[in-house]
Amino acid sequence: MAFFKKLKDRMFKSSSKIDEGLEAIVSDGGDAEDVVQDIAAQQEAGEAAAKVEAERVQAEKTAEQEARERAEAEAKKEAETAARIAEEARAKAEAARHVEEAAQADEKRKAAKEAEEAAQAAIAAQERQAEEAAQAAEQRAQELAEKEEAERLAAVEEAEQEAKTSEPLRTTLTPVAPMLDAAPDEPAPKRGILGRLMGRGTAAPVTRRVLDDAMLEQLEELLISADMGVDTALRVTANMAEGRLGKKLSVTEIKTLMSDEIARIMEPVAKPLPLYAKTPQVVLVVGVNGSGKTTTIGKLASQFRGAGKKVVIAAGDTFRAAAVEQLQVWGERAGVPVLTAPHGSDPASLAFDAMTRAEEDGADLLMIDTAGRLQNRGDLMEELAKIVRVIRKKDPEAPHNTLLVLDATTGQNAVNQVKVFQEISDVSGLVMTKLDGTAKGGVLVALADKFGLPIHAIGVGEQIDDLQPFDPQEFADALTGLDR
């Protein structure tokens, strides 16, 4: 638009000169032909000037367009650079957040360990005080008995002396009544979660206690401290108190009541991993980092192979090279083939190819490992959901089992893990590991009470045969320290 306006202005100036020439011709009365020639020459000069001006304006327009394009390219490049820098900053911030979370978790574990050590020290001090008190009581009783015996002997000796110096009398001496023996103490109970409540001393002066509201409150706090959760702890203690309030109970009786109630809650969920006629049966194993997924897969594969099943393992944790190598070691121990993919490749694609390979080999079970995921990372959880979608393209019923592996040392955090993983991958059963460590284990009771998911097995060690079927009564006895 600016170009045409400039051109119009230039043309108007040329036409005004023509008007001036005509006026000069008319006013001077000169030779018309000469004037016409002059006018024609002026027109040609004006047209040439206009053409030059138009070319100049066009060149300016072209230069402006090229400058604008260069500016846009530079702006786009700068925007891409800024976006890349922002993404790197976000990645660094995310990494820093993970480091901070790990540090906080370490601090929490350290604080919990220190609290546990302090509690154990307090218990030991109480036991020593009880033992010292019992020993002091026994010593006082012995001294009293010796004093009474000495007095009795002195009285007998005095009576004999009097009999010698006076008329003989028929005297009947009544022996001093012996002291009542203290009731025998119960054998020292096996250590469990009730030790802080009832005591441990081998000569504890109190062996029974009335079951009242104060004791029930202490029992509730004890179960909560064992990671059982508030709701489950209240339910257990309420059932224990039914028909027994006001009665005196010993440590063993309380342990038995508590163990039976815990076993009653967990009995419905104690189920082995089901096996189906359709093959290959796809078993997807999920869980957070460090929960024990890889070792659990190796142990289950060994057990299934020992039962005569043909098993194939897919190393779906393609983001961590060490995970693939660890799974290959377990596969060698169990005598089971392990399918792998290049580092960083798509785990969903590997799962799909593994299903095809398992069908061709006539495998009974295909166990798929997955990368450890934090339940609060949406992108990683979406990757897990993608694996489920992809394998269902090949078999709409797959995965036939989704095992969530939980670390017993995480405590109540396991409740949140079950909730999130169940929404993403439709968890069908649980396996809890690391019960051989410092775990209190009560969270497994809370999970059974809250979700009702089958508990297939528990891990009690690192050896290949240390994965055991879940027995609710044995677990409850171990949790309470009951020795039946």
Domain range list for the chain: 269-480
Helix (H) or strand (E) holding 462: none
Supply the pTM of this predicted model.
0.59
Q: What one-character DSSP code corresponds to residue 409?
A: G
What's domain 269-480's superfamily in CATH?
P-loop containing nucleotide triphosphate hydrolases (3.40.50.300)
How would you classify residue 229: left for phi > 0, otherwise alpha for psi between -120 and 50, otherwise beta? left
Distant-in-sequence, close-in-space partners of 372: CB < 8 Å, separation ≥ 6:
287, 288, 289, 290, 291, 293, 317, 320, 323
> Cβ(280)–Cβ(312) under 8 Å?
yes
- Both structure tokens of 135: 């020993």
Going residue by residue through the chain (484 aa), what tens digit of pLDDT does each one get?
A: 553 344 334 444 444 444 444 344 445 444 445 544 655 666 677 677 777 777 777 877 787 788 778 878 887 888 888 888 888 888 888 877 877 777 787 777 777 677 667 767 766 666 676 666 656 656 665 666 666 666 666 665 665 565 555 443 333 222 222 222 333 344 444 455 554 445 444 444 447 889 999 999 999 999 999 899 999 999 999 999 999 999 999 999 999 999 999 999 999 999 999 999 889 999 999 998 888 899 999 999 999 999 999 999 999 888 777 888 989 999 999 999 999 988 888 899 999 999 999 999 999 999 999 887 665 566 667 888 889 999 999 999 999 999 999 998 888 899 999 998 888 888 999 999 988 765 678 999 999 999 999 999 998 877 877 888 999 999 999 888 888 7
Classify residue 293 by burial, with Cβ atoms within 10 Å: 0-12, 13-18, 19+.
Answer: buried
Q: Is 246 helix (H, G, I), strand (E, B) or coil?
A: coil
